[in-house]
Chains A and B, each alone.
Chain A
């Protein structure tokens, strides 16, 4: 079965950096895009970043552009989120999620999040 296990969360001071990891199993990792989605305490869901199956395309939310970088290592079945210049408002549980592409080459694709990890908590505080 599909499993996604995040790690790397913790407490960091404003302006600091952290790298999150997500190890995947139970599916052919190298053929699926991957996402990071976050949820601030008691709040709703916010998409953070997406990386295509082969790393060729990456997209970030405006709120993290220029500060967060998504990457992947298909030989390790792992997706990463490098977070720099962290702010208090980045405090959240960070989930990695597997991409579910719906559609075809001619009409285009829409994307959903069909499997999620249990999340890792990032707290930005002085």
Chain B
């Protein structure tokens, strides 16, 4: 079973700053199977990135994903006020078929 670990648990930044979020898998995963979601309080998650680096429909280009093997990164180039939220990475595999990381909270410094 592949386990996803996200770091840091909380990231305190100011609007306009760059955010770098990490997702590490316990064993190598295909880049095509790694995605990122954003969740704001009281709302459903929203798909940001699929295939490690492809932006979902309507996602601003300040969001970018990268990585391969066991190490993946979500970067928000310049934080906007609406970007303060919890971010989850997700992997599609064999068993279990879908695994989420524990999340990284990006809050206002």
Interfacial residues, chain A to chain B (CB-CB below 8 A):
35, 37, 44-47, 50, 59, 61-62, 95, 100, 102-103, 110-114, 116-119
Contacts and interface: CB of A to CB of B under 8 A. Distances in A.
B86 to A, nearest CB: 8
B45 A45 contact: yes
Interface stretch (B16-24, B60-68, B74-82, B91-99): B91-99
Contact of A102 (B50, B95, B98, B100): B50
Interface string B36-79: 01010001111100110000110000000000000000000000
Contacts, number: 65
24 contacts: A37-B45, A37-B98, A44-B88, A44-B100, A44-B101, A45-B88, A45-B103, A47-B96, A47-B97, A47-B98, A59-B97, A61-B96, A62-B95, A95-B44, A102-B51, A110-B32, A112-B35, A112-B47, A112-B90, A113-B90, A116-B45, A116-B46, A118-B44, A119-B44
